[in-house]
């Protein structure tokens, strides 16, 4: 059997076993890697996650190009990626695949096109590109290749426990980092409610951080209403006690299905 047949067979098999986050086909992209052999240099990044292990993402992560990052709205989303063996001989033997979480932004550069190297770099618009952690990338590509063509699809994120809320800010400015989101993996809107307030809309500040301006939330228990990018609404009632402090993280037992 030829490589092209085996590649098509892998795509069919994955379609049977991977739960898509939304309907769609496998799409072409490219992939590189960064962060060192153990992925330690992928910690942190433009989504606001710090320790990717503690916050539910792990070493199988990727920085997304401009076209995929969507100004931070894609933070936390999950993607199944396979090496496109119909276009390269640099796929890892066995036609392996990997699921990665979006945890960082891969910015374009100002360089002109040179040979096979596109203007703006691999991460420049409108190119879909994944700069994956090295451990994740080596599931599908040969290390010496450096860059490979891939096929990708958004898939459902699976988490072992509930959504987490980390509160930062000062003097009436509140910023909440949302982590460990299952289902679609990302949030499209949210609001906060104090024990003695109405619902207050929050707005994306950067990455997975959302903020609001309010003078009266300190000393009140907090509830959050979130809508996932899959359209599911969840209310996390009284998940933060009245004695909360800036810098603390609060774990819940609720999470998204889509």
User: pLDDT tens digits for 188-239?
Assistant: 999 999 999 999 999 999 999 999 998 789 999 999 999 999 999 999 999 9
Tokens representing residue 131 in the block: 């700069």
Q: What is the pLDDT of residue 212?
A: 97
User: In the structure, what pLDDT confidence band is assigned to residue 62 with cuts at 50, 70 and 90?
Assistant: very high
* The CATH homologous superfamily of the domain defined by 27-155: RlpA-like domain (2.40.40.10)
User: Does residue 6 have a pLDDT over 50?
Assistant: no
Q: What is the pLDDT of residues 85-136, one digit of tens each?
A: 999 889 998 867 999 999 999 999 877 666 666 777 889 999 999 999 999 9
Tell me 137's DSSP state. H
Q: What is the pLDDT of residue 90?
A: 92
Q: What is the pLDDT of residue 109?
A: 85
Q: What is the mean pLDDT of the chain?
A: 90
Tell me where in the chain the CATH 2.40.40.10 domain(s) lie.
27-155
Q: What is the pLDDT of residue 14?
A: 52
Tell me where in the chain the CATH 2.60.40.760 domain(s) lie.
163-252
Tokens representing residue 89 in the block: 């001989």
CATH class of 163-252: mainly beta
Identify the residue with better confidence: 5 or 253: 253
Identify the residue with better confidence: 158 or 118: 158
Q: What is the pLDDT of residue 19?
A: 57
Q: What is the pLDDT of residue 163?
A: 98
- What is the rounded end-to-end Cα distance, in angstroms, of the chain? 38
Identify the residue with better confidence: 241 or 122: 241
In the chain, % of residues over pLDDT 90: 74
Residues 6+ apart with CB under 8 A from 40: none
Q: What is the pLDDT of residue 73?
A: 97
In the chain, % of residues over pLDDT 70: 88
Q: Tell which residue, 172, 163, 210, 170, has the closest CA to residue 194.
A: 172
Element (H, E) at 130: strand 129-133
Contact 68, 132 (CB under 8 A): no
* Runs of H (alpha helix) within the chain: 3-17, 66-69, 134-137
Q: Are strands 129-133 and 27-34 parallel, antiparallel or unpaired?
A: parallel
Q: What is the pLDDT of residue 177?
A: 98
Strand order in the sheet with 187-194: 233-240, 222-228, 187-194, 199-206, 209-213, 173-179, 164-170, 249-251
Q: What is the pLDDT of residues 14-26, one digit of tens each?
A: 544 455 555 468 9
């Amino acid at each position: 059997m030829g490589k092209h047949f085996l590649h098509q067979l892998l795509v069919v098999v994955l379609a049977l076993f991977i739960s898509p986050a939304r309907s769609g086909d496998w799409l072409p992209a490219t992939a590189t890697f960064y962060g060192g052999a153990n992925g330690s240099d992928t910690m942190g990044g433009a989504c606001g996650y710090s320790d990717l292990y503690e916050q539910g993402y792990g070493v199988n992560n990727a920085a997304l190009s401009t076209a995929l990052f969507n100004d931070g709205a894609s933070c936390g989303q999950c993607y199944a990626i396979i090496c496109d063996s119909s276009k390269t001989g640099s796929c890892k033997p066995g036609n392996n695949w990997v699921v990665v979480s979006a945890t960082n932004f891969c910015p374009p550069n100002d360089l002109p096109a040179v040979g096979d190297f596109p203007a703006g770099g691999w991460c420049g618009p409108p190119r879909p590109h994944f700069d994956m952690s090295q451990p994740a990338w080596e599931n599908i590509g040969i290390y010496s290749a450096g860059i490979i063509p891939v096929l990708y699809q958004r898939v459902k994120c699976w988490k072992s426990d509930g959504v987490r809320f980390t509160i930062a800010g000062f003097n009436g400015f509140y910023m909440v980092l949302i982590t460990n989101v299952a289902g679609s993996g990302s949030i499209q809107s949210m609001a906060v409610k104090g024990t003695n307030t109405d619902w207050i809309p929050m707005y994306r500040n950067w990455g997975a951080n959302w903020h609001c301006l309010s003078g009266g939330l300190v000393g009140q228990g907090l509830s959050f209403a979130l809508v996932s990018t899959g359209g599911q609404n969840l209310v996390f009632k009284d998940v933060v006690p009245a004695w909360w402090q800036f810098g603390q993280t609060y774990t819940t037992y609720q999470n998204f299905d889509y």
